């Protein structure tokens, strides 16, 4: 069965430091990949997505993610974190097949980011 | 565009009471979803709909019913609420599946069942 693993439950970084959030997936074939962000008390907002082509994907708010097929990973990065980036981040995958399950978005359990001033 | 809206934002129920959560989207999306979010569990799919008049079960459908009588609305019902249904409920919609499965989320409904 497909699964998404975010190994870090909680990460703390200082404002201005770089950030990398990890995401690994287990799938029969390379799925479509997404990163969402959830600010406190809010719904989820899409940061970026990977479908095909260039394995380095740029998103909103200065985030990027790199797809590595050999590692089944899709890690999220930001070179310099701002206090407003404090939120919970979710990695998600969707199957590529055209069969009956391609509606399904499978989410990781999230990584909570705390930003110290 | 309002995007995806949810009503109500907060609700407290007693065990055994019933209620309906309303989700509305103005993006003309075919697909709509109901999730619940619990601490440490991520988002779990309750029910979904692939179009007006259709509904299907997700991962955790027990205790919930849904209806999609109009394309823009997706209702989630709790017939007899239980404390285990205390959660934050999110509705989402998407234009399609696979690479079109960019889901847009509502702000959530925080439900407490006493």
Quote the mean pLDDT of chain A.
91
Compute the average pLDDT of residues A83-87. Answer: 96
Is A99 a residue whose pLDDT tops 60? no
User: Which one of B42, B98, B104 has the shortest CB-CB distance to A32?
Assistant: B98
pLDDT in the model for residue A28:
75
pLDDT in the model for residue B98:
67
The residue in chain A having the minimum alpha-carbon distance to the alpha carbon of residue B30 is A103
User: Which one of A36, A96, A110 has the shortest CB-CB distance to B98?
Assistant: A96
User: pLDDT tens across A10-38, in order?
Assistant: 999 999 999 999 999 998 778 889 999 99
b/e map B28-61, b = 16+ CB within 10 Å? ebbbbbbbbbeeeebbebbbbbbeeeebeebebb
b/e map A88-98, b = 16+ CB within 10 Å? bbbbbbbbbee
The residue in chain B having the minimum alpha-carbon distance to the alpha carbon of residue A49 is B102
Q: How far apart are CA B36 and CA A86, in angstroms?
A: 22
User: pLDDT tens across A37-46, in order?
Assistant: 999 888 999 9
């Amino acid at each position: 069965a497909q699964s998404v693993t975010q190994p870090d439950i909680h990460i703390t970084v200082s404002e201005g430091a770089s950030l990398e959030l990890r995401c690994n997936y287990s799938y029969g074939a390379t799925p479509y990949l997404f990163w969402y962000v959830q600010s406190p008390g809010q719904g989820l907002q899409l940061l970026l997505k990977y479908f095909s082509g260039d394995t380095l994907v740029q998103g909103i708010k200065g985030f990027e993610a790199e797809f590595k097929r050999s590692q089944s990973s899709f890690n999220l990065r930001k070179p310099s974190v701002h206090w407003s980036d404090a939120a919970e981040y979710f990695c998600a995958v969707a199957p590529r097949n055209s069969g009956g399950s391609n509606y399904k978005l499978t989410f990781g359990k999230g990584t909570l980011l705390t930003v110290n001033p | 565009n309002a995007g995806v809206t949810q009503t109500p934002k907060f609700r407290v129920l007693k065990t055994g009471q019933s209620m309906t959560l309303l989700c509305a989207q103005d993006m003309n999306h075919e697909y709509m979803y109901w999730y619940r979010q619990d601490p440490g569990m991520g988002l779990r799919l309750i029910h979904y709909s692939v179009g007006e008049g259709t509904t299907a079960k997700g991962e955790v459908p027990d205790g919930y019913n849904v209806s999609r009588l109009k394309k823009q609305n997706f209702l989630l019902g709790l017939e007899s609420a239980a404390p285990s249904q205390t959660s934050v409920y999110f509705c989402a919609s998407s234009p399609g599946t696979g690479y079109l499965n960019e889901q847009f989320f509502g702000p959530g409904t925080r439900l407490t069942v006493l």
